[in-house]
């Protein structure tokens, strides 16, 4: 077990600790010992050994003082009676914040059976951590747990090893901490594939002494070559880690004996210039293998790694991989993000934070940041700001862009879920569909088979996936609607010429004409007509004799119009997508008047029924079959409206009301009156109205009649 003084010495080697700092480390140690007292690790060791070792690893990572102290305290809130408030009062806000972050990550629900989610889960960790030190401390924690994994049950070993190789090793790789990545991978591999790990380590041990001599020989040769070129450098030859060799064998389908770069030679120079000089020296001494040279100095890897890589045919005729880099580049390769820390008297240097976070963001997001305001955002806020992570009720993780709503989520699960979404529960509570999701939310989508996407959704969804699918659905629906509209236009136009469209169709008498028009079936005809791409006249022309075609349809007399209106046969006055020839009828329930807001409802076979747009009936029908309609402004039609009049039952009231209506120059189609009780009576008057203001006049006029208590349109009464 590492001793506290070893840790303090190590920290002192890279940052200067004053007495106060050392006191704080000791205080954390004593506190941790106190709250973990009596607890044991599975190995039987006192629990305190774990936070000590973790803190030791953190000192090897060369992290700052707060991280070292957090290492000692990292399990206190989760595993003991210690509270976050207590940590804050004893060690300050920053350390409490870091401990809190590590605890939160430990509590994330990772299930390793979902391998495809690994990348999302890594990002979830980063989003949860908020401060990069939390991730680094968590990696140190994991590394020590992996080193002591043999004491756990086989099942837990497997689970933790898998999680390590899927989540934590790649995270460490991304942060560029080479030695931690290698250790995590080898440890995890030794549990996941015991046999292969054993076989490879045996092979390596067998050849080690032979190789070591070989490495010495080659190192000496490289060194003397570089001396010739007057380049001062340090040359090392190292064995690749076992999992690295294994991965190479797997990906290139090689046997162990054919992996030529089991040993990687490394030349570390003092300057950038010398890197390229050393490369020149190597290439002029040994033949380079074509296609193997890579300049990661000019083009660094996403995690900041810089180096020149080349493979040459070495002095003994075998391939050698050589990496050339400066000492600073080497630091980055080994310590990753931590090498960007700049320390001053044990604290991060003023402005250092800025530097760190900007570097970090690039590392984490694998991209360059151009906009300086983004740097600031990174300093202030979360490491990952443009995505959020939410869970399905089954615990599946979904990544969505910031600002996503339950509808976006629903479509990310399945198109059908999106298309039938009626509501959403977030963390057990019902939320509006335009609710903005937050990282960590668990979302349950409520669906219903007869619900459909709404055009309104397009106003708040933000994923292109959801947008595309909603538009697709609407477009499809528009086709269905156009088909119905087209059919209705065909039927009506044919009827105007005394023909029965459906009968002709059934008899096959339209087939030839359709073929001439290059329309392959009746559905295509409906669509063409419904979308206004062709006129029904084109078809009629081919069926009717030309003289009949030219004769305009008979004009209806005014009185015929009124009769038709009252009997509610098909009538005009309505434009459906700009076409007037659509079969429509007015709904009995609300009798809309010209000038009122209206909405159409498609009924199969019966064309479109026109309702007032606030008619309660519409709320009960399939939303998808609603269609936008408008009044034809040129139309001078008449509409029946039923007025209900409550009045006192006095003699002559019916005739008084009738004359008040006639006085407005309005016809009455029907009038009836019946006594409700002794005192009052109720009358129904069907009046023929041309527009809204005329109706208002009539109603005003009726109200003035002596004994009249109220006048309402019949549908309005139904709604109260
Ligand atoms: Mn721990």
For residues 404 and 372, the answer to whether their CB atoms sit within 8 Å is: no
Look at residue 277 and tell me whether its pLDDT is greater than 80: yes
What is the CA(307)–ligand 1 centre distance, in A? 34
Share of the chain above pLDDT 70, in %: 83
What is the CA(108)–ligand 1 centre distance, in A? 14
Choose between 235 and 582: higher pLDDT. Answer: 235
Residue 78 catalytic? yes
CA pair distance 539, 517, nearest whole angstrom: 8
User: What pLDDT score does 474 carry?
Assistant: 87
Burial of 533 (0-12, 13-18, 19+ CB in 10 A): exposed
In order, the DSSP letters of 270-338 are SSHHHHHHHHHHHHHHSEEPTT--EETTTS--TT----EEEEEE-TTSSEEEEEEEEHHHHHHHHHGGG
What is the CA(80)–ligand 1 centre distance, in A? 12
What is the CA(45)–ligand 1 centre distance, in A? 14
CA pair distance 588, 609, nearest whole angstrom: 9
CA proximity to 716, closest of 655, 642, 649: 642
For residues 245 and 256, the answer to whether their CB atoms sit within 8 Å is: yes
Catalytic residue among 79, 119, 295, 630: 79
Confidence of residue 581 (pLDDT cuts 50, 70, 90): low
CA proximity to 104, closest of 131, 65, 66: 131
CA pair distance 538, 527, nearest whole angstrom: 15
User: What pLDDT score does 173 carry?
Assistant: 82
What is the CA(334)–ligand 1 centre distance, in A? 23
Region of residue 346 (phi > 0: left; psi between -120 and 50: alpha; otherwise: beta): left
User: What pLDDT score does 446 carry?
Assistant: 92
CA pair distance 518, 531, nearest whole angstrom: 17
For residues 89 and 61, the answer to whether their CB atoms sit within 8 Å is: no
Greatest mean pLDDT range, 110-124, 619-633, 642-656: 642-656
Number of H helices, E strands in the chain: 31, 23
Give the strand pairing for 287-288 and 308-313.
Answer: antiparallel
Cα four-point dihedral sign 143, 146, 151, 152: positive
Confidence of residue 396 (pLDDT cuts 50, 70, 90): confident
Choose between 237 and 154: higher pLDDT. Answer: 154
Look at residue 191 and tell me whether its pLDDT is greater than 50: yes
CA pair distance 46, 44, nearest whole angstrom: 7
Residue 86 catalytic? no
User: What pLDDT score does 367 carry?
Assistant: 38
Which are the contacts of 667, defined by CB distance < 8 A and separation ≥ 6?
Answer: 562, 687, 688
What is the CA(7)–ligand 1 centre distance, in A? 17
- Using a CB cutoff of 5 Å, list residues around ligand 1, an ion: 75, 141
For residues 165 and 242, the answer to whether their CB atoms sit within 8 Å is: no
What is the CA(72)–ligand 1 centre distance, in A? 9
pLDDT tens figures, 281-292: 899 888 888 888
What is the CA(47)–ligand 1 centre distance, in A? 10
**pTM (2 d.p.):** 0.57
Look at residue 704 and tell me whether its pLDDT is greater than 50: yes
Name the least confident of 115-124, 154-163, 489-498. Answer: 115-124
User: What pLDDT score does 198 carry?
Assistant: 94
Give the mean model confidence (pLDDT) for residues 416-443: 90
The helix (H) or strand (E) run that includes residue 60 is helix 49-60
Residues β-bridged to residue 644: 684, 712
Look at residue 428 and tell me whether its pLDDT is greater than 50: yes
CA proximity to 173, closest of 2, 337, 367: 337
Average pLDDT over all residues of the chain: 81
What is the CA(91)–ligand 1 centre distance, in A? 19
Using alpha carbons, list the distances in angstroms from residue 400 to 185, 418, 439: 30, 15, 9
CA pair distance 538, 541, nearest whole angstrom: 5
- Integer-rounded Cα Rg, in Å, for the chain is 41
What is the CA(96)–ligand 1 centre distance, in A? 16
> Going along 10-152, which residue ranges are E strands?
none
The helix (H) or strand (E) run that includes residue 712 is strand 708-713
Cα four-point dihedral sign 172, 174, 178, 181: positive
- How is residue 516 written in tokens? 């001439």
Catalytic residue among 6, 78, 150, 212: 78
What is the CA(76)–ligand 1 centre distance, in A? 9
What is the CA(100)–ligand 1 centre distance, in A? 13
Give the strand pairing for 607-612 and 639-648.
Answer: unpaired
Which are the contacts of 354, defined by CB distance < 8 A and separation ≥ 6?
Answer: 375, 379
- How is residue 143 written in tokens? 């590394």
Residues β-bridged to residue 238: 264
Give the mean model confidence (pLDDT) for residues 303-330: 86
Q: Residue 620's CB: how many other CB atoms inside 10 A? A: 7
Name the least confident of 190-194, 298-302, 397-401. Answer: 298-302
pLDDT tens figures, 663-699: 888 888 888 877 766 678 888 888 888 888 888 899 9
pLDDT tens figures, 365-383: 433 334 434 433 333 334 4
pLDDT tens figures, 588-630: 777 788 878 888 887 765 677 888 888 877 777 766 677 778 8
> Going along 460-606, which residue ranges are E strands?
574-576, 584-586, 598-603
């Amino acid at each position: 077990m590492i001793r506290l003084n070893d840790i303090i010495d190590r920290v002192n080697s890279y940052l200067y600790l004053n007495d106060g700092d050392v006191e704080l480390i000791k205080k954390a140690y004593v506190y941790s010992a106190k709250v973990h007292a009596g607890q044991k690790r599975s190995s039987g060791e006192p629990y305190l050994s774990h936070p000590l070792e973790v803190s030791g690893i953190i000192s090897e990572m060369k992290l700052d003082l707060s991280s070292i102290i957090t290492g000692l305290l990292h399990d206190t809130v989760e595993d003991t009676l210690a509270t976050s408030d207590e940590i804050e009062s004893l060690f300050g806000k920053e350390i409490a914040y870091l401990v809190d972050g590590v605890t939160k990550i430990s509590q994330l629900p990772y299930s390793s059976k979902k391998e495809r989610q690994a990348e999302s889960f890594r990002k979830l960790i980063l989003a949860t951590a908020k401060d990069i030190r939390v991730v680094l401390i968590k990696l140190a924690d994991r590394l020590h747990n992996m080193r002591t994994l043999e004491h756990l049950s086989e099942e837990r070993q497997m689970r933790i090893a898998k999680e390590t190789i899927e989540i934590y090793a790649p995270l460490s790789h991304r942060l560029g901490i080479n030695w931690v990545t290698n250790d995590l991978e080898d440890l995890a591999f030794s549990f996941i594939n015991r046999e292969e790990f054993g076989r490879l380590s045996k092979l390596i041990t067998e050849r080690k002494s032979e190789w070591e001599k070989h490495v010495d020989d080659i190192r000496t040769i490289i060194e003397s070559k570089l001396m010739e070129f007057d380049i001062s450098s340090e040359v090392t030859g190292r064995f690749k880690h076992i999992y690295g060799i294994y991965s190479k064998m797997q990906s290139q389908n090689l046997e162990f004996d054919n992996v030529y770069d089991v040993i990687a030679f490394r030349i570390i120079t003092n300057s950038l210039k010398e890197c390229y000089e050393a490369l020149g020296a190597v290439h002029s001494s040994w033949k380079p293998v074509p296609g193997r040279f890579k300049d990661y100095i000019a083009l660094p890897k996403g995690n900041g790694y810089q180096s020149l890589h080349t493979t040459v045919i070495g002095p003994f005729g075998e391939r050698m991989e050589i990496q050339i880099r400066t000492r600073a580049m080497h630091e980055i390769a080994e310590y990753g993000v931590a090498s960007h820390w700049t320390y001053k008297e044990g604290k991060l240097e003023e402005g250092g934070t800025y530097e760190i976070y900007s570097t970090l963001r690039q590392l984490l997001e694998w991209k360059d940041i151009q906009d300086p305001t983004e740097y600031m955002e990174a300093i202030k806020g979360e490491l990952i700001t443009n995505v959020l992570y939410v869970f399905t009720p089954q615990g599946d993780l979904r990544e969505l862009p910031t600002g996503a709503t339950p509808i976006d989520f629903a479509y990310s699960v399945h198109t059908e879920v999106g298309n039938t979404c009626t509501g959403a529960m977030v963390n057990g509570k019902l939320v509006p569909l335009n609710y903005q999701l937050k990282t960590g939310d668990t979302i349950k989508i409520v669906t219903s088979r007869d619900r459909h996407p709404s055009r309104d959704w397009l106003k708040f969804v933000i994923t292109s996936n959801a947008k595309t699918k909603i538009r697709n659905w609407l477009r499809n629906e528009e086709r269905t609607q156009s088909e119905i509209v087209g059919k209705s236009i065909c039927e009506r136009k044919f009827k105007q010429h005394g023909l029965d469209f459906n009968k002709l169709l059934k008899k096959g008498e339209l087939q030839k004409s359709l073929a001439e028009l290059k329309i392959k079936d009746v559905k295509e005809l409906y669509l063409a007509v419904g979308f206004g791409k062709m006129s029904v006249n084109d078809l009629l022309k081919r069926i009717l004799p030309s003289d009949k075609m030219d004769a305009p349809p008979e004009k209806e007399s005014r009185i015929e119009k009124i009769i038709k209106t009252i009997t509610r046969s098909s009538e005009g006055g309505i434009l459906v997508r700009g076409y007037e020839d659509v079969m429509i009828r007015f709904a009995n329930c609300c009798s809309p008047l010209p000038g009122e807001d209206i909405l159409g409802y498609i009924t199969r076979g019966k064309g479109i029924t026109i309702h007032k747009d606030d008619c309660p009936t519409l709320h009960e029908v399939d939303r998808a079959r609603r269609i936008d309609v408008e009044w034809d402004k040129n139309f001078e039609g008449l509409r029946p409206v039923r007025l209900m009049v409550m009045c006192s039952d006095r003699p002559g009231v019916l005739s008084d009301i009738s004359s008040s209506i006639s006085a407005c120059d309005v016809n009455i189609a029907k009038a009836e009156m019946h006594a409700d009780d002794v005192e009052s009576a109720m009358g129904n008057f069907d009046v023929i109205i041309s527009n809204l203001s005329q109706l208002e006049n009539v109603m005003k006029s009726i109200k003035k009649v002596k004994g009249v208590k109220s006048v309402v349109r019949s549908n309005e009464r139904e709604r109260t």
